[in-house]
Chains A and B, each alone.
Chain A
Amino acid sequence: MIPFKHMNPYEALPDEAFWRKAIAGKQPMQVTNIWKPKFRVGYHHRIATAGSCFAQHISKALIDRGYNWVDAEPAPEELSHDSKLLFNYGVFSFRTGNIYTAALLKQWVKWALEREPMPDEVWKSDIGRFIDPFRPSIEPSGFYSLEELQASRECTLRAIREALTTSKYFFFTLGLTEAWINRKGKYVYPMCPGTIAGEFLPELHQFKNFTYRDIRRDIMQSLEIIKLANPKIKFMLTVSPVPLTATADHKHVLVATTYSKSVLRAVAGEIADESADVDYFPSYELITGFPFRGMFFKENMRSITAEGVNFVMNSFFSCLESIQGKRKRKNIADASSVTVRNVAETLSDNEDDIVCEEELLSVFGQK
């Protein structure tokens, strides 16, 4: 009798588990099966998106492919495509502008879903307009009155509630670990005061580079609050591959970027590994992984090319299709509720279509 011999654990693994087969033996663009989706995402499922600049590509790709992307704060129809972007309409599921950090996500979620009062801090522009410190670029010239700013904020909070309580999925892209906080109120700003707007006051504004623990805590708390409001919701985390425009951490920007992205990647991966309701899509790896030789970065080695974005999004959808097959697109109009709006006018591939406040920091390095 021939003794039974157990296979060793590697013998049963698929090609993707082996560097030679998955990477070394392929051209970069042939790298496939990068992700095993946990969820089946149907065309009729409501999907809310938010996060850093790169997250805008996800909403755009979902719209382009006929998925039911939730626009809970739609633009007036008469506004042109460019003006919609100028006023941050159709960028994310609600008009928060970019949410770069986990701490900022937690703040918005608490304000919207736990109805925690928002700080009453408001900035004034040089021409006397009112600027929302938590959405500093939402109105290109600022609000005409304090009441208008508050009404607009309330509208956005309502949109967040609507998007997060009625969606099947929430896709969130983590962007940064660095942020500025208000020492007194302990709240976080999306951008350093004094950059896009406002005034920087050293006694009031404090730099914070969030740690792994901070970010994990903030993400977990955010997801828990959302789950309480919408127990059926599932989450998709991604990490933006876009490097930092600038660091305030007194380190080389490459070192700061590596720290930031490594921590975000680790947090996202760990939470996804631990939770059945959270998945992680490796857009970060598809752009920054060295097998791709930096080919998806533009000359400034920061901006992502259209080819890179397409590669990421094609990978995303082909991986989805690998587990659920090519699904027939449902007529979204039938599936949509009153406030679900499909953005008929989809965003183009033009880099100019991406609204990225953080990029404005680069002007401060030109001196």
Chain B
Amino acid sequence: MKTILFAKKSCCRSLARSKTEMRLVVIGNSHLAALKQAWDQYKNNFSDIELIFFGAPGKSLSFVEIQNGCLISKSDKTAEYFRFTSGGLDKIDCAEFDGVLFYGKLNIRLFATTFKTHTLGHSVNGNRLHISTGCLTQIVVDRLKEFKWLLMLREVTDLPIYFVPAPYPSRSCLNGQDSEWEFLKMNSDMLKMVSDSFINGSKLALRKFNTTFLPQPQETIEDFLFTQAHFTKDSVGLFGLLQDSISLHEDTDVTHMNMKYGLSILASVLPRIESEIHKNRTAGY
């Protein structure tokens, strides 16, 4: 990140119902910036929806607990992040919303350690052991099955929850120094197997939480597991963005995406979410 600016917002506002048809709470980590930027720019395209963002980078998103049926940050820092991103709110009261969009927390990088010792390949060479597609899928299930945020959300609400993973990295991740991306140096057949495991495992695990997995939109992907490179250009940091003082990620950042990517996500997921929530309402759920 080139610059991060913080500004204190001391007061906590309460959430008044606007005239919009549907209000979603959007919870996520640093990847939320792309969505927020796209939302600020294009919210008029989605006139029937209101989005309220609660973001905190990295592990700070984990410092949350339930108090009086609301989700509240356990640390001052996280509270500060929440106030920044939501425009002054310091708790998530699900009663105020029609649905939840959880964004950016599950990353394909979760396979990095596995592929240091194992391989999906059909011929067993070298020191690495074979791992089956089924087992790879199970790793995703295991990662998500005790996911604290979803456990807490399901404790406080029956709202529909939608889960969108972190964007795949751009292909230039293979050129960098980060050995964590080494595992993506595989042929297309294997990339597809990894992608299938990631998506199938996510869907399987999220069923337990009655949560819908929405994969990364196809039009943003190349070769199954890479985000098209142009989406990484001029990606912004979450907090700079909220300051009217845009802070761009380093050019070498291969994981954070720009506003165009955020717009792709919004255009892909919001109509579906809107339609499903409408359908549920009509059906009387």
| Chain A residues within 8 Å of B, Cβ to Cβ | 73-74, 76-80, 83, 86-87, 139-144, 147-148, 150-152, 154-155, 158-159, 338-339
Closest 10 pairs (CB-CB, A-B): A155-B130, A76-B114, A147-B122, A80-B142, A144-B133, A78-B139, A151-B122, A151-B130, A154-B124, A83-B138
- SS of B interface (majority): helix
Contact partners of A144 in chain B: CB under 8 A: 132-134, 193
* Cβ contact within 8 Å between A76 and B127: no
Contact partners of B193 in chain A: CB under 8 A: 144
Having A79-B138, A144-B193, one finds 20 other A-B pairs with CB under 8 Å, namely A76-B113, A76-B131, A78-B111, A78-B113, A78-B114, A79-B135, A79-B142, A83-B142, A86-B138, A87-B135, A139-B135, A140-B134, A142-B134, A143-B134, A144-B134, A148-B133, A150-B122, A158-B124, A159-B129, A339-B127
* Cβ contact within 8 Å between B130 and A152: yes
Q: CA–CA, A338 to B111, complex, Å?
A: 21
Within the complex, the shortest CB–CB distance from B22 to chain A, in Å, comes to: 37
Within the complex, the shortest CB–CB distance from A126 to chain B, in Å, comes to: 15
Within the complex, the shortest CB–CB distance from A115 to chain B, in Å, comes to: 14
Within the complex, the shortest CB–CB distance from A229 to chain B, in Å, comes to: 19
Contact partners of B131 in chain A: CB under 8 A: 76
The reply to whether the CB of B154 lies closer than 8 angstroms to some CB of chain A is no
Contact partners of A86 in chain B: CB under 8 A: 138
* Cβ contact within 8 Å between B113 and A151: no
Contact partners of B132 in chain A: CB under 8 A: 87, 139, 143-144, 148, 152
Contact partners of B141 in chain A: CB under 8 A: 83
Q: CA–CA, A3 to B127, complex, Å?
A: 73
The reply to whether the CB of B18 lies closer than 8 angstroms to some CB of chain A is no
Contact partners of A158 in chain B: CB under 8 A: 124
* Cβ contact within 8 Å between A74 and B129: yes
The reply to whether the CB of B67 lies closer than 8 angstroms to some CB of chain A is no
Contact partners of B130 in chain A: CB under 8 A: 151-152, 154-155
B114, B127, B129 interface centre (most CB from chain A within 10 Å): B129
Contact partners of A143 in chain B: CB under 8 A: 132-134
Within the complex, the shortest CB–CB distance from A156 to chain B, in Å, comes to: 9
* Cβ contact within 8 Å between A78 and B129: no
The reply to whether the CB of B143 lies closer than 8 angstroms to some CB of chain A is yes
Q: CA–CA, A152 to B129, complex, Å?
A: 8
| Chain B residues within 8 Å of A, Cβ to Cβ | 110-111, 113-114, 117-118, 121-124, 127, 129-135, 138-139, 141-143, 145, 193
Q: CA–CA, A76 to B142, complex, Å?
A: 12
Q: CA–CA, A13 to B127, complex, Å?
A: 53
* Cβ contact within 8 Å between B118 and A76: yes
Contact partners of A140 in chain B: CB under 8 A: 134
Determine which of A74, A80, A139, A151 lies in contact with B124 in the assembled complex, contact meaning CB atoms within 8 Å: A151
Q: CA–CA, A149 to B7, complex, Å?
A: 57
* Cβ contact within 8 Å between B134 and A76: no
Contact partners of B142 in chain A: CB under 8 A: 78-80, 83
Within the complex, the shortest CB–CB distance from B91 to chain A, in Å, comes to: 32
A139, A140, A142, A151 interface centre (most CB from chain B within 10 Å): A151
* Cβ contact within 8 Å between A151 and B135: no
Q: CA–CA, A355 to B127, complex, Å?
A: 27
Contact partners of A142 in chain B: CB under 8 A: 134
For A146, the closest partner residue in chain B by CB is B122
Contact partners of A339 in chain B: CB under 8 A: 127
Within the complex, the shortest CB–CB distance from B104 to chain A, in Å, comes to: 20
For B131, the closest partner residue in chain A by CB is A76
Q: CA–CA, A148 to B138, complex, Å?
A: 16
Q: CA–CA, A79 to B134, complex, Å?
A: 12
* Cβ contact within 8 Å between A78 and B143: yes
For B122, the closest partner residue in chain A by CB is A147
Within the complex, the shortest CB–CB distance from B113 to chain A, in Å, comes to: 6
* Cβ contact within 8 Å between B123 and A151: yes
Contact partners of B118 in chain A: CB under 8 A: 76
Contact partners of A80 in chain B: CB under 8 A: 142, 145
* Cβ contact within 8 Å between B135 and A76: yes
* Cβ contact within 8 Å between B124 and A141: no
Instruction: Using known A-B contacts A140-B134, A144-B134, A152-B132, determine if residue A79 contacts B139 with beta carbons closer than 8 Å.
Output: yes
Within the complex, the shortest CB–CB distance from A286 to chain B, in Å, comes to: 36
Q: CA–CA, A338 to B145, complex, Å?
A: 32
Determine which of B113, B129, B133, B134 lies in contact with A155 in the assembled complex, contact meaning CB atoms within 8 Å: B129
Contact partners of B145 in chain A: CB under 8 A: 80
For A143, the closest partner residue in chain B by CB is B132
* Cβ contact within 8 Å between A148 and B122: yes
Q: CA–CA, A312 to B114, complex, Å?
A: 36
Q: CA–CA, A268 to B125, complex, Å?
A: 37
Within the complex, the shortest CB–CB distance from A273 to chain B, in Å, comes to: 39
A78, A139, A159 interface centre (most CB from chain B within 10 Å): A78
For B112, the closest partner residue in chain A by CB is A78
For B141, the closest partner residue in chain A by CB is A83
